[in-house]
Amino acid sequence: AQKITQTQPGMFVQEKEAVTLDCTYDTSDPSYGLFWYKQPSSGEMIFLIYQGSYDQQNATEGRYSLNFQKARKSANLVISASQLGDSAMYFCAMREGQSTGKLIFGQGTTLQVKP
Amino acid sequence: DSGVTQTPKHLITATGQRVTLRCSPRSGDLSVYWYQQSLDQGLQFLIQYYNGEERAKGNILERFSAQQFPDLHSELNLSSLELGDSALYFCASSVEAGRISGANVLTFGAGSRLTVL
């Protein structure tokens, strides 16, 4: 069964507008972590934001925020004030439990920012 | 520069051959993770080493093997290569010390792009 699901293969957003990238997850472990990474066309994987399963507040990092809805098992990434440099592939990932730091990744969403 | 160094950046080889990919983790990181990224399979976790010992295993083929050396660098060996092994291979590292209670963010290297002809 897919543990991390990103249902939007591709998204477009106008420059300076906000965009939400969807991510749902599936786990029975009460302790888990959710991550978002950005992969520009150059190929590197860049960490954006982290949310722990016990965190009460939604995580924020600059223009990135994570809309964490635990009951719905969703961890959507919100990018505010989109910039042309935000055009990239975005991956949602999950770490289950506390015994290993390995991440399971979703299939990714390609975001294109239009000028 | 993420601090995680992967060599070579590009590699072209023929079917049936064997290659070795090398990874030096970020200073202070004890864990190394290997991932394979291909168009049809996405980002697949292969294997993790922590301080020289295998910690977790994913969808790693029997033709593939890895190890982490005392200086914490890691090598991923791919043998009897097939066309389908063409992919971008990432190494990532993290601190991971025992029971993980915080983020333990994985820092990725730039990847090694393998092309099998």
Return the percentage of chain A with pLDDT > 70, whole number: 98
Contact B99 A99 (CB under 8 A): yes
Residue A7 has what pLDDT? 95
- Residue B78: pLDDT over 70: yes
**How far is it, in rounded angstroms, from Cα A61 to Cα B5?**
26
From A92, which residue of chain B is nearest by alpha-carbon distance?
A: B43
CB distance from B105 to chain A under 8 Å? yes
- Residue B101: pLDDT over 80: no
- The tokens of B90 are what? 């990432």
Contact B90 A102 (CB under 8 A): no
Residue A17 has what pLDDT? 98
Q: Are B36 and B44 in contact (CB under 8 A)?
A: yes
Residue A99 has what pLDDT? 84
CB distance from B6 to chain A under 8 Å? no
Give the closest residue to B38 by CA, choosing from A95, A108, A101: A108
- Which residue carries 């440099």 as its tokens? A85
Return the percentage of chain B with pLDDT > 90, whole number: 85
Burial class (CB in 10 A: 0-12, 13-18, 19+), A3: middle
Q: Which of B43, B94, B101 sits opposite A91 (nearest CB)?
A: B43
- On average, the pLDDT of chain A sits at 95
SS3 A86: helix
Can you tell me the mean pLDDT for B29-46?
93
Residue B103 has what pLDDT? 86
Q: Which of B5, B23, B39, B43 to mutate to test the interface with A (most CBs of A within 10 A)?
A: B43
Give the closest residue to B88 by CA, choosing from B1, B9, B2, B31: B9
Q: Which of B43, B104, B113 sits opposite A105 (nearest CB)?
A: B43
Q: Are A64 and A78 in contact (CB under 8 A)?
A: yes
Residue A65 has what pLDDT? 98
Residue A2 has what pLDDT? 66
SS3 A68: strand
- Residue B16: pLDDT over 80: yes
Chain A nearest-CA distance from B67, in A, is: 16
Residue B42 has what pLDDT? 87
Contact B2 A44 (CB under 8 A): yes
